[in-house]
Amino acid sequence: MYNCPFMNSSNCMCNGCNPWMWYYYWNFMNYGKPYHYNYNYNKHYPMNYRYLDEDLDSEFINEIETNSYLDNDYINDMEANNYLDDYYNDTLETNNYLDDEYMDAVETNGYIEDPLLYEDSYDDTLDDSRQENMMMPNPGSLRWRPWETLPGRITSGPAVSSWARGRLDLFARGTKNELIHSWFANGRWYNWEDLGGILTSSPGAVSWGPNRIDVVVRGTDNSMYHKWWDGSRWSAWENLGGKLTSAPSICSWAANRLDCFCRGTDNQLYHKWWNGSKWSDWEALGGQLTSAPASVSWGPNRIDVFARGVRNTLIHKWWNGSRWSDWEDLGGYLTSAPCASSRGNNRIDVFARGRGNNLIYKYWNGSRWSNWGGLGGYLTSEPTSVSWDRNRIDVFAQGRNNSVIHRYAY
């Protein structure tokens, strides 16, 4: 426990209990941890800058108001260590939102001074006034690790699936337009392998059981092609027809069940499924899509499909086991196709690229949708996401220079 040097005196700036005041004061002045901290912080709220000038010395005020950024030494220290101060992280994760007064300060200054959580302009993660008082994107108090760059060069958005806890299978188009595959197992990433084909889109991938993976892509004739891993070897490519004007998406709600989606030549959503013994014909599901669709299942006979609509918002349609819903508009401002994953029954996590090329995030908690939040990064493709545990989300995208970037919550 740290003790406030002014506690119980006329100069006490925190009434003995506000860690936010000390977080900002001591991190700006000493580039270290807060000098005073009380673990009852969950009863208190962040302080607005406009209240500081009565309490903090003029040198600190001038540093905030004149320079309007964190000291370069502190920034470099944060970036080098690749994490936020533990006290600040714990406070965010416990409160799970930003105080309205603090948001007023953010909106006035135009950005959040946090290079790891919001790496680009704050305004770039928002689309309109509905999102100005957004919640932090932190369902269940998950902790988001900083972005990392993985080995390899890709020429499309990636796709990811998982068939076991601690297992990730990552796919993308390679430099020769071939399908390439890397996987995470035993705590490490394995080298990319060439799976052939000539891709004209990002791939889609799903697993419906242990040691099973199904991958779909668009080919040079705009048909959908399918390749699968059966536990011992990769199949040849299978042509499933269609006239795709987007990358395909694939999901599964049961063993040996596959549901595939794409945008057609009339910009409608199209659906094709494998019932365990044969493929269906393509069916039209309406809508006006301006991106590839994303699909996910959180339970038997349930499918949720997302896409970017004509106003660049997120649109959503679902199958409840007996019929398809109408499309609903979930807002936001998307500059890419969305992706979706599920961490459990009646839970959905949706990601997309926002205005500033950073990652934006919205989730369904079982009863309502969250506001949009920002997770930083610099994306040059749509993202992809998967969960191999109720308390784990992995997100991938193409970054600068055809790199693979990765961030996860745990």
In sequence order, what are the beta bridge partners of 251?
A: 259
Of 38, 146, 144, 17, nearest to 92 (Cα)? Answer: 144
Tracing tokens 């689309």 back to the chain, one arrives at 127
Strand-strand pairing, 213-218 and 348-353: unpaired
Question: Could you tell me where the DSSP H helices lie in 30-143?
Answer: 58-62, 72-81, 86-95, 100-109
Give the pLDDT score at 141.
75
CA 410 – CA 394 distance, rounded (Å): 9
pLDDT recorded at residue 137:
55
What residue ranges of the chain have pLDDT lower than 50? 1-136
Radius of gyration from C-alpha coordinates of the chain: 23
Strand partners of residue 215: 205, 227
Q: How far apart are CA 224 and CA 228, in angstroms?
A: 13
CA angle 68, 73, 78 (to 5 degrees): 90
DSSP state of 17: T
Q: Rounded to two decimals, what is the model's pTM? A: 0.70
From first CA to last CA, the distance across the chain in angstroms is: 27
